Amino acid sequence: MRFFNVLVAATAVSAVALVPRMETENAHEAIENFVPEDDIAKLGLAGLGNLTEHEEAAVKSKAKRSGCSLFDVTIRRDWAHLIASEKKAYIAAVQCLMAAPSRVDHTLYPGAKSRFDDFIVVHANYSRSIHGTGNFLTWHRYFTWTYENTLKKECGYKGAQPYWNWGTWAHDPARSPVFDGSDTSLGSDGSFVAHNGSVAGRGAIWVPSGKGGGCMKSGPFKNMANNMGPMQPTMHGVLANPAGFYAYNPRCLKRDISAYASSTWTTTRQIITLITTRGVKAFQDNINGDFAAGNLGIHSAGHYTIGGDPGSDFYQSPGDPVFYLHHAMVDRTYFIHQTLNLPGSLTDLDGTQTVFNMPPSPETSLDDVLGMGPLGPEIKIRDAMSTLGGPFCYIYL
């Protein structure tokens, strides 16, 4: 970790860039100039030190097969650390995806009207085999990367997929740069609609109503179309589409931003506890929670912080654009956990192929396939274990 001298004097370069960053960067320089703002970022830098040493050893031993290196990676950053032009470029790319026509089979998915909707279809189709499973982390890593890659290839996006750092705003998420309703946010809370909260954790956990519940009030996605579903709604007063999952049912996007969910399950302290667990089984048990014991877990809590329709819908949650910032943060916690536990973390798997092993199914293996339907090619789990391997070439700061 010889060049990770990060706890430097106040004259160090700020973590927030003054000019838009290139699509790929020299990670060595970016890391040296990065000033961590919280203990999660400090753990991340320690992990990056391990990763650098691991990559250098792999190159020397000729074990490195991927063409990706720390000299040309994409660097994913906190939404709060992007400058206005970077945020607007990302927003414009997402809006481009929402305006582009769907490419899925419309005889099967008549409600899918846009490329953005295509991602909802794929997530819904795979949902019963990608949650509470041994492939949960790697499948969503590949899904989020595929979304990022589609923004680049089809909408000319030059940046990286940003993440939503839950802990920073856990006690008041509606005030965060992600949800503040400005033209550089991903929208606001919903308008206030009195309701009786949301049911989470397979019916075991009640999340009280927040200050929203209705249509999004402001921001770049205020008027976006919510075309399919509801598929498995959880907020009181929202009913499943009687015509079926994929039937066309245009309506507004609703949010009920929940400080209860975020302050109960996604604080910085809880994120650090997650990251510093030993072994992927403990990591997954933590992130999944324990519904019967009243623990929603960080992953589900992020979805219920967004709330509404479709943000907390098990199948349809990618219909809220914050989904991808949320899952980038899920991936960030996994990335840091992995880099702190190299090299064993690159082969460490736990879990079966069905949701919490219901019905019983085989154990997940590195040779299992991650499917992306019409969005991209199949890859093996072993090719998704490192963000510098397989199709990937990115890190987190």
Per-residue pLDDT of the chain (397 residues; tens, 9 = 90+): 333 333 223 223 333 444 556 566 777 788 888 889 999 999 999 999 999 999 888 877 766 666 798 888 999 999 999 999 999 999 999 999 999 999 999 999 999 999 999 999 999 999 999 999 999 999 999 999 999 999 999 999 999 999 999 999 999 999 999 999 999 999 999 999 999 999 999 889 999 999 999 999 999 999 999 999 999 999 999 999 999 999 999 999 999 999 999 999 999 999 999 999 999 999 999 999 999 999 999 999 999 999 999 999 999 999 999 999 999 999 999 999 999 999 999 999 999 999 999 999 999 999 999 999 999 999 999 999 999 999 999 999 9
Longest dimension (CA), the chain: 62
**Cβ-defined contacts of 51-59 (< 8 Å, 24+):** 51/339, 51/342, 51/388, 51/395, 52/1, 52/3, 52/4, 52/28, 53/1, 54/342, 54/343, 55/388
Structure tokens at 143: 């899904």
- Domain edges within the chain: 27-102+118-185+257-303+315-396
Cis peptide before 220 (omega within 30 of 0): no
Structure tokens at 246: 């994929």
Neighbours of 363 (CB within 10 A): 12
Per-residue model confidence (pLDDT) at position 14: 35
- Rounded to whole angstroms, how far apart are CA atoms 22 and 82? 13
The pTM for the full model equals 0.93
Per-residue model confidence (pLDDT) at position 62: 66
Strand-strand pairing, 205-207 and 213-216? unpaired
Per-residue model confidence (pLDDT) at position 17: 45
- Rounded to whole angstroms, how far apart are CA atoms 305 and 307? 5
Q: Which of 323, 307, 286 is nearest to 207 (CA)?
A: 307
For 21: left if phi > 0, alpha if psi spans -120 to 50, otherwise beta; the answer is beta
Per-residue model confidence (pLDDT) at position 64: 64
Residue 290 has φ and ψ, to the nearest 5°, of -140, 90
Architecture of domain 27-102+118-185+257-303+315-396: Orthogonal Bundle (1.10)
Per-residue model confidence (pLDDT) at position 319: 98
Per-residue model confidence (pLDDT) at position 98: 98
